[in-house]
Amino acid sequence: MTFFQQQRGRGVPFLVIDGGAAFFGSPTKKAPSISKERQSLNVARNILNAYNYLGYHAVGIGPSDLQFGVDKLKSLLSRAEFPVVCANLVEKTSKKPVFTPSVVVTLEGMKFGIYGVCLDTLNPNYKKRVLGGKYDLLDPYETTRDIVARLRKSCDMVIGISHLNIADNEKILGQNPGIDILLDPYSRSGNKPVWVTEGEYVAWHGKTPMIRIDGQGSRVGICEIYLPRTGNVEEDYAIYDYPLEPQIMDHPVMKDIARGRLVPPNKTPHKTTLFEDLFLGAGTCGACHEKQLAFWETTKHSKAYASLTKTGDHLNSECVECHTLGYGLSFVEPAKVGEFKEVQCENCHGVDAKHAEDPARYRLGQVNETSCWGCHNPQILKKPFYPAKVKDKVSCPRMEK
Where do contacts with ligand HEC occur on this chain (CB under 6 A)? 246, 280, 282, 284-289, 292-293, 296, 299-301, 303-304, 307-308, 311, 313, 316, 318-319, 321-323, 343-349, 355-356, 359-360, 363-367, 371-372, 374-377, 380-381, 383, 387, 390-391, 393-396, 398-399
CB-side neighbour CA atoms (13 Å) of 186: 27
Minimum CB–partner distance for residue 317 and ligand HEC (Å): 9
Residue 147 or residue 304: which is nearer to ligand HEC going by CB?
Answer: 304
Minimum CB–partner distance for residue 176 and ligand HEC (Å): 40
Residue 65 or residue 241: which is nearer to ligand HEC going by CB?
Answer: 241
Minimum CB–partner distance for residue 258 and ligand HEC (Å): 21
Residue 196 or residue 249: which is nearer to ligand HEC going by CB?
Answer: 249
- Can you tell me the distance from the alpha carbon of 86 to that of 185, in angstroms, rounded to the nearest whole number? 14
Q: Amino acid identity, residue 339?
A: E
Minimum CB–partner distance for residue 285 and ligand HEC (Å): 3
Residue 95 or residue 382: which is nearer to ligand HEC going by CB?
Answer: 382
Minimum CB–partner distance for residue 353 and ligand HEC (Å): 8
List CB contacts of 293: < 8 A, sequence separation 6 or more. Answer: 282, 285, 286
Residue 155 or residue 285: which is nearer to ligand HEC going by CB?
Answer: 285
- Can you tell me the distance from the alpha carbon of 398 to that of 401, in angstroms, rounded to the nearest whole number? 9
From residue 64, how far is each of 78, 366, 367 by CA, in Å?
Answer: 18, 40, 39
- Can you tell me the distance from the alpha carbon of 294 to that of 286, in angstroms, rounded to the nearest whole number? 8
Q: Amino acid identity, residue 203?
A: A
Residue 14 or residue 373: which is nearer to ligand HEC going by CB?
Answer: 373
- Can you tell me the distance from the alpha carbon of 64 to that of 67, in angstroms, rounded to the nearest whole number? 5
CA angle (124, 127, 132) in 5-degree steps: 125
Minimum CB–partner distance for residue 281 and ligand HEC (Å): 7
- Can you tell me the distance from the alpha carbon of 110 to that of 271, in angstroms, rounded to the nearest whole number? 20
Cis peptide before 252 (omega within 30 of 0): no
Residue 107 or residue 381: which is nearer to ligand HEC going by CB?
Answer: 381
- Can you tell me the distance from the alpha carbon of 374 to that of 370, in angstroms, rounded to the nearest whole number? 7
Residue 95 or residue 389: which is nearer to ligand HEC going by CB?
Answer: 389
Minimum CB–partner distance for residue 215 and ligand HEC (Å): 17
Residue 109 or residue 365: which is nearer to ligand HEC going by CB?
Answer: 365
Minimum CB–partner distance for residue 379 and ligand HEC (Å): 9
Minimum CB–partner distance for residue 191 and ligand HEC (Å): 33
| Contact yes or no for 20/59 (Cβ under 8 A) | yes
Report the Cα–Cα distance between both ends of the chain, in Å, rounded: 39
List CB contacts of 192: < 8 A, sequence separation 6 or more. Answer: 166, 186, 212
- Can you tell me the distance from the alpha carbon of 246 to that of 2, in angstroms, rounded to the nearest whole number? 10
- Can you tell me the distance from the alpha carbon of 283 to that of 290, in angstroms, rounded to the nearest whole number? 10
- CA 242 and chain centroid, separation: 10
Residue 119 or residue 319: which is nearer to ligand HEC going by CB?
Answer: 319
From residue 211, how far is each of 58, 202, 215 by CA, in Å?
Answer: 16, 5, 13
Q: Amino acid identity, residue 366?
A: Q
Minimum CB–partner distance for residue 372 and ligand HEC (Å): 3
